[in-house]
């Protein structure tokens, strides 16, 4: 990127009839960097005219703004999703019994990170290559205000993240809470933020029009790291078929909660558990048509989402009842402490009671023996 004083000198020298070689030799002898001399001379067209003719600046338009905004937005997305996968890997390596990781409720986050990187990272690399090629072809593009502003905004966030990371390390060290897992995560944040700071600080101040070798080395290392993290995470998540089976099982579990809620409604309004699900649905629908009922009491009884067959139901002695469902996959990889799926109806059940169904570890039919619970009448309208 040519200095303004340098460009003014080149313009004046060319206007007086000096040759380009003579102007370049004089500037190099005076100590000006060769790349800046070339940029300054390239600012004027090499044509036969009494006065130096400036070349048009091909930057600053809406198209360039679009490319830069998309590029830096993708940079942020890539940094965040890479950090997410790196954190999951650290949690896997340094497992903590107080923090269950890579369970079923975390798999959607890994899938989102994998999808984001598989789609976003190649586009990010392509835009970086395209913008870099444009810089080398026309060094004047480095004068773009859009590029400069977006670069420094990115650097601000990277610097603040790095500073915050260092503060967290010192704070936890003083509190005696520094562990290998925490240090590893802090190192991940530091590496990502530091790489962004180093690369784009150099790019903002760089004047050479040639290939940025250190930048390409960092890009290559980052690409390998992203590829390894994506491959590792892909081995941890379910296949599409298994993910669909898990989602169907989650829906079955939610349906059982809804049916249990209906049985509680029937017990509250009619004083006994229903003889069948059809009788419960008819009774609650008839009551809901006459007067307001509590939340969840007037809904249709759901069927199995795949087979569309009704769930198993049996009225037992007293207020007890049994619900059965055939699960397609189960939850074989869940920890024992996390196989319970509680649902709480705060404000409806006395003392905020919750109903808990134990997730089955194996596929097949599973039955749950439950007891109907009356909810407090004065909270029906909440």
Are 201 and 271 in the same domain? no
For residues 137 and 143, the model is more confident at 137
Are 123 and 199 in the same domain? yes
DSSP state of 363: S
Are 229 and 300 in the same domain? no
Are 249 and 222 in the same domain? no
Q: Can you count the helices (H) and strands (E) in the chain?
A: 10, 7
Q: How many Cα neighbours within 13 Å face the side chain of 240?
A: 1
Are 232 and 276 in the same domain? no
For residues 312 and 57, the model is more confident at 312
> Residue 28's closest CA among 9, 54, 12?
9
Are 81 and 136 in the same domain? yes
Domain count, the chain: 3
For residues 268 and 109, the model is more confident at 268
Distances (CA, A) of 369 to 229, 250, 312, 321, 338: 44, 19, 12, 6, 20
| Helix or strand holding residue 356 (H, E) | strand 354-358
**Per-residue model confidence as pLDDT tens digits over 333-357:** 654 434 445 444 434 444 445 677 8
End residue of a domain, out of 182, 201, 236: 236
- Beta partners for 322? 314, 369
Q: What whole-number distance in Å separates Cα of residue 374 and Cα of residue 371?
A: 10
Q: What is the pLDDT of residue 291?
A: 86
- Checking 332-341 for CB contacts under 8 A at 24+ apart, the result is 332/361, 332/362, 333/103, 333/104, 334/103, 334/104, 334/359, 334/361, 335/100, 335/103, 337/100, 338/100, 338/103, 341/253
Are 232 and 245 in the same domain? no
Are 209 and 281 in the same domain? no
**Per-residue model confidence as pLDDT tens digits over 155-175:** 888 788 778 767 776 777 777
Taking residues 194-213, what's their average pLDDT? 72
**Per-residue model confidence as pLDDT tens digits over 192-203:** 888 888 888 877
End residue of a domain, out of 204, 219, 236: 236
Are 81 and 47 in the same domain? no
Domain with 29, as residue range(s), is: 4-54
H-type helices in 138-212, by residue range? 145-174, 180-205
> Is-contact 78 124, C-beta < 8 A?
yes
**Per-residue model confidence as pLDDT tens digits over 100-120:** 544 555 667 788 899 999 999
**Residue 309 reports pLDDT greater than 70:** yes
What are phi and psi for residue 44, nearest 5 degrees? -120, 135
Q: What is the pLDDT of residue 42?
A: 78
Q: What whole-number distance in Å separates Cα of residue 66 and Cα of residue 76?
A: 16
Are 79 and 109 in the same domain? yes
> Is-contact 60 145, C-beta < 8 A?
yes
For residues 65 and 102, the model is more confident at 65
For residues 54 and 211, the model is more confident at 54
> Is-contact 85 229, C-beta < 8 A?
yes
> Residue 343's closest CA among 370, 362, 304, 309?
370
Are 252 and 219 in the same domain? no
- Beta partners for 370? 321
pTM of the model: 0.59
Q: What whole-number distance in Å separates Cα of residue 331 and Cα of residue 342?
A: 15
Are 132 and 219 in the same domain? yes
End residue of a domain, out of 171, 203, 236: 236
- Checking 358-363 for CB contacts under 8 A at 24+ apart, the result is 359/253, 359/330, 359/331, 359/334, 360/327, 360/330, 360/331, 361/330, 361/331, 361/332, 361/334, 362/330, 362/332, 363/327, 363/328, 363/329, 363/330
| Helix or strand holding residue 255 (H, E) | helix 240-270
């Amino acid at each position: 990127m040519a200095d303004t004083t340098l460009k003014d000198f080149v313009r004046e020298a060319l206007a007086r009839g000096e040759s380009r070689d003579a102007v370049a030799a004089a500037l190099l002898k005076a100590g000006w960097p060769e790349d800046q001399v070339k940029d300054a001379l390239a600012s004027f067209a090499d044509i036969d005219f009494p006065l130096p003719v400036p070349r048009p600046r091909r930057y600053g338009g809406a198209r360039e703004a679009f490319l830069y905004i998309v590029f830096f937005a993708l940079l942020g997305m890539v940094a965040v999703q890479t950090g997410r996968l790196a954190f999951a890997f650290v949690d896997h390596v340094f497992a903590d019994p107080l923090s269950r990781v890579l369970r079923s409720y975390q798999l959607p986050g890994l899938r989102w990170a994998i999808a984001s990187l598989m789609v976003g990272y190649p586009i990010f690399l392509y835009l970086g290559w395209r913008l870099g090629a444009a810089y080398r072809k026309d060094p004047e593009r480095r004068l773009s205000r859009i590029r400069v502003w977006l670069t420094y905004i990115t650097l601000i966030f990277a610097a603040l993240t790095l500073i915050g990371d260092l503060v967290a390390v010192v704070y936890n060290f003083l509190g005696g809470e520094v562990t290998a897992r925490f240090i590893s995560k802090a190192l991940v944040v530091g590496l990502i933020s530091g790489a962004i700071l180093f690369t784009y600080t150099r790019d903002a101040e760089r004047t050479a029009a040639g290939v940025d070798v250190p930048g390409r080395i960092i890009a290559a290392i980052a690409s390998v790291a992203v590829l390894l993290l994506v491959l590792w995470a892909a081995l941890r998540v379910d296949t599409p078929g298994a993910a669909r089976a898990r989602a169907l099982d989650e829906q079955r579990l939610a349906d059982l909660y809804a049916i249990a809620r209906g049985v509680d409604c029937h017990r509250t309004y009619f004083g006994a558990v229903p003889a069948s699900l059809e009788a419960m649905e008819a009774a609650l629908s008839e009551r809901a048509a006459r007067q307001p009922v509590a939340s969840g009491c007037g809904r249709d009884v759901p069927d199995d989402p795949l087979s569309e067959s009704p769930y198993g139901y049996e009225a037992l002695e007293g207020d007890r009842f049994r619900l059965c469902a055939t699960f397609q996959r189960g939850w074989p990889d869940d920890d024992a402490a996390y196989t319970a799926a509680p649902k709480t109806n705060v404000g409806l059940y006395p003392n905020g009671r919750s109903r808990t169904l134990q997730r089955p570890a194996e596929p097949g039919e599973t039955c749950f023996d439950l007891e109907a619970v009356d909810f407090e009448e004065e909270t029906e309208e909440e």
